[in-house]
Structure 1
Amino acid sequence: MTNTIDPSYLLSSIQNDRKTTGSNVLGKDDFLKILMTQLQNQDPMNPLQDKDFIAQMATFSSLEQMTNMNKSLESFLKTLEKNNLQDASMLIGKTIAYLDDQGGEKTAKVKSVSLKEGQTLYQLDDGKTSLVAGEIIKIE
C-alpha cells in the first residue's frame, strides 16, 4: 500500500476554493465599525484613554475629508475633460498640419473630435488618421 496525499488537502486546492467577499479596501464605514467594536469590547478596568479616543476620531475625520476631497477632484476632472472636448471641437473643419511617420509635414481637415481614455483625439478627413493635440504643429 502506498502513502499518497489526497490532492484536496494541498494548499493550492484550499486557496482556490476560498470564497472572497467584500473588498480589500477599508473605507470610513469600516473604520467606524472597528472603532465602535473597540469601544464596546474595551476592558472596563483599563478603558480607552481620552487622548486615544480623540486621536482615533481625528483619524476618522481626516479619512472622511480625504474621501470628500477625492470625490470633488474626480468631479472636477470630469468637468475639465468635457471642457477640453468642447474647446477641441472648435477645430472641426479647420485645416491642421502634423508630422507623418517619416517626419514630413502633412495637412488635413479635422473631421471630428472624440475623448478616449482621458485623451482628446482628432479624426482627420482622410478617414484613418487620428491625432492627439501634441502632434498638431499648425492650425489654419
Structure 2
Amino acid sequence: MKLGQAPQILRTTGLGSCVGVVLFDEGLKIAGMAHVMLPDSSLARAGTNHSAKFADTAIPNLFALLLEKGARKLYIKAKLAGGAQMFHYSGANELMRIGARNIEAVKNQLKLLHLPVVAEDTGGTNGRTIDFVIETGVLLVKTVNKGVHEI
C-alpha cells in the first residue's frame, strides 16, 4: 500500500489473481494504491498482520489514510485492475477462483464506503502491471501479451 501526490506515479507489478486498487481525489491530485492478494483477512495465518494484503482491511485502511492526507470523501473515486484466473482447474471449486473472489471483495468494500468505481480492467486470464499517473488520473494497464492501454 502506498500514497502519493502529483507528480508521482504509483505502480504495482505482478497482478495475476491480485487486484490493484487505486483511490484518488483528482482535484487535489492525491492518490493511494493497494495490491490486494486475498479477499478476506480471516484467511491470514494466526499471529500475522498484513492488512494491506486483504480486501476487507486494505481498502478501509487506504481510504482512512487518504482522508488523513486531506482527500475529500465526496471526491474520492476508484480504479481497478487485475483479478485474473491465472490457472485452469478442472472441476475447480469456489476457493480456487481467487481472482473473481478478489474482484467481488474489493467491489463490496468500495460499495460499503460509497466509493464509485469509475474504470476497471478486471478478470481474464492474463497478468498485469499498472501505473497510476496522479497528475492526470490515468491508470496505465500493461497486460501480458496484450500491450498497454489507459483507463
Larger radius of gyration: 1
The answer to which structure has the higher helix fraction is: 1
Q: TM-score, normalised by structure 2?
A: 0.17
TM-score (norm: length of structure 1): 0.18
Q: Which has the higher strand share?
A: 2
Higher relative contact order (CA 8 A, sep 6+): 2
